Amino acid sequence: MSTIRDKLREYRTAGYYTEFEYHWTMAVDLDRCTGCEACVVACQAENNLPIVGEKLMRQGREMKWLRIERYWDGEYPNARLNFIPMLCQHCDEAPCEIACPVFATYHNQDGLNAQVYNRCIGTRTCAVYCPYEVRFFNWFTYTWDEPLEQQLNPDVTVREKGVMEKCTFCVQRINRAKDLARDEDRRVADGEAQPACAQACPTDAIVFGDRNDPESAVSRKLEDPRAYSVLEELNTHPSVVYLKNARKPLAGGADDDHHGDESDSRASREGARPTWERGHDPRSGPALREGETPSLQTQQADTVA
């Protein structure tokens, strides 16, 4: 007999699943990321992402399920570039999932944030609710010139206008691995299901696997003290975990150039971390509470100005 409270808890659990069969998780080691964008290209090829062209790119309508965000640390010539690959975080408490009036986006049994193109009516609420801005809307029906349509991936739908889309963690590859494993009556082995970005990454910065398996490579990455989630204070419980890059502070660089305010002293104390991380690292919680942390935006403005 389940009590009403149990029912409520079940109802409030993401996608109504209390536990996941597999809990697909991605760990991105920012220390290893060189910003080469091989993952971006791999994603584009694997998932039939349209090339929207220069005009639409300028209008901010590009389709890139995975993008490399760039944040500058310091000022030229004493500057450093930080990369962070940003893709759908497959949040366990996804803001987008409560938004869709027709259940076009939901949490599936594998902890994936699934998007059903056929069901989408294009209210775009999910994209508005998404704090990571990783949802992409088909403003037009995009086409591929001859003979480029020959290279479309037959495992992936080509989307029409008016439909929302986003990173699926290459669900077609996951499903194929699960089918194989089911035929052989076993669970999917670690490393058997790899999204295109992880496969393409030359420095192995992207590690993908099942969090339910404590022996998997990704589970070991999660135990790394450098692990954190982007915008963790929003309580979205992302399935993408980043390992911060532990680098030395810029010598005589931006960190020292700050104008001697309080955040400056903290910056030099924790200077090992790049600028964009400071305000959003859960580990800097006490500093956040004291209210001394400048935000992401001001920091950007500071470094640019």
First to last CA, the chain: 62
Please report how close the Cβ of residue 299 comes to another protein at its closest, in angstroms: 9
Q: What's the min distance (Å) between Cβ of 137 and another protein?
A: 6
CB of 225 vs another protein, minimal distance in Å:
24
Q: What is the C-alpha separation between 208 and 185, in angstroms, rounded?
A: 22
Please say which residue, 17 or 199, places its beta carbon nearer to another protein. Answer: 17
Query: 206 vs 230, which CB is nearer to another protein?
Result: 230
Residue 80 CB, shortest distance to another protein, in Å, is 16
* Other CB atoms within 10 A of residue 271 CB: 19
Whole-number minimum distance, CB 280 to another protein, in Å?
9
- Beta carbon nearer to another protein, 72 or 192: 72
**Nearer residue to another protein within complex by CB, 67 or 247:** 67
Shortest distance in whole angstroms from residue 110 CB to another protein: 20
Shortest Cβ 40–another protein spacing (Å): 14
* 8 A C-beta contact, residue 64 and residue 49: yes
Fill in the amino acid letter for 36. Answer: C
Q: How far is the CB of 282 from another protein (least distance, A)?
A: 15
Cβ-based neighbours of 261, under 8 Å, separated by 6 or more: none
Tokens of 85: 């690959």
Residues that bind another protein in the complex, under the rule CB under 8 A:
56, 59-62, 67, 69-71, 86, 95, 97-103, 119-125, 127-129, 131-133, 135-141, 161-164, 230-231, 234, 236, 276, 279, 291, 293-298, 300
Whichever of 271 and 279 has its CB closer to another protein, that residue is 279
Of residues 169 and 276, the one with the C-beta less far from another protein? 276
207 touches 26 (CB < 8 A): yes
Residue 147 or residue 291: which is nearer to another protein going by CB?
291
**174 vs 254 by CB, closer to another protein:** 254
